[in-house]
Structure 1
């Protein structure tokens, strides 16, 4: 199947970040021509005259099955928000998760997102709906301590079974994630990271989202979250940490040394008033890979990556009193490369 997208403005995202006008040609699932005029015969032609043709965006942190909860938990304190979400979530069926996933996938695809990274339980249900939708999914089964979960069995073992069930699936990467240090002890964290290392899998998790999370761990362990994860040998280049808003420079340097990635979730942090702003310039200076995520529809009311880019950029300019930070091209890089 050969598809020719004709006469568009192509945002190449190449090394020179060129925008060129011309045709983009796709043979089956591989791009074979960018720019110029394609004089061959195509099985499918798309007239893109005057339109933008760009790489698909990557949403690096969400909980897609929560899409049915849009607008349900607005204007609540963080504690009340969590209580209401946990109550709703505990009553949800596999059918609810399936419908939520399909709605979320549709919203993301309509907005230009072609890949998303998810963190949730029952990822086997989410995987089937994601494959039906046709979008790429990196699905991280959420692990936490067995005495703190509603899952049946040990969450790390559940994640391993999920991986074995769906490994090799087209457009799907089954993986493992961590809820966060507030419900994951050393054994849970190390087991999850060891499995990600063994299978070379990305690992999504919540990190330093709130000041309370940081302070509680410091009281228990005498260390901040990144410092503690480093001490137990659980920092890794495969990790994608969501939020990451309450960090010290020492933690940023540790994350950079480990080769980690972060997922900025500006709208979610602002809606829940968790305070803190992720230190993007310092991430970049210290080798931390920066990406963008929407978080879930109940903390954002949207899975729109264009909106997320805009608001992330404005938040960091305002917080730094510096209009030159997070320029438009850099934000697009965060979402596509």
Structure 2
């Protein structure tokens, strides 16, 4: 059925309504001046609307749905590929399974999603949600007004232990998909109301960071306390040892004084036994000595034994030739 000046309905059960409207395939429907429904079961409604894909739908002035089951709704909206959807003035989805919703929203690669005026999904399976949000890497997600997701998969995270990018290869350290962005180089956002993460790949909230800080401070305090206790013990032990060493040194000095106080034989054939004691800085020592001069008066033989009040004993002997 064709209604309108120069309208054409050439397909079986097709309908063309409006000046120069064209319904060119089976069950095609074209409503509006210059509208065209050129494929099986396609629908074009609006001034110069065009539905060129099988079961495609184009609604609004100059809307175009060119892919299989593509949907274009809005003035100059364009849905080019199979199952692509463009909703909004001048929105465009030019990729397989793409969804662009919002004034001038754009999808350029398969599986992309752009929701919001000016939002754009430029790579496969990327998603841009928000006014002028842009997803520029495969599988990336941009959330919020003016957000930009431009970090690709495969980026290694920072390892605080080394101060550099991690050399680990697991998904907890190296991303397997594009990044999720809630801002851009010029703009940043806080992510609020985040529950504490559990798994290695979960997000961490401030409460967990504070808990780690408290635990670290507690551990450091305990380590410092233990360190100070060990130092104090070492100092005490060193002092005790030094005190003992000092006492022994004083006793040794007293014993040396005692040895120096021993008498000896001087006349030929004379023998002598001597006992002496000494005191140094409150510590005492003692000595016993024996000496003998030969009958010729040429040889002097001496021997001594010493002891200290704080323990320890010793002795000495000498032979002296006289002339």
Q: What TM-score do you get using the length of structure 1 for normalisation?
A: 0.16
Q: What TM-score do you get using the length of structure 2 for normalisation?
A: 0.16
For the pair shown, the structure with the greater C-alpha radius of gyration is 2
Q: Counting strand residues as a fraction of each chain, which structure ranks higher? A: 2
Q: Counting helix residues as a fraction of each chain, which structure ranks higher? A: 1
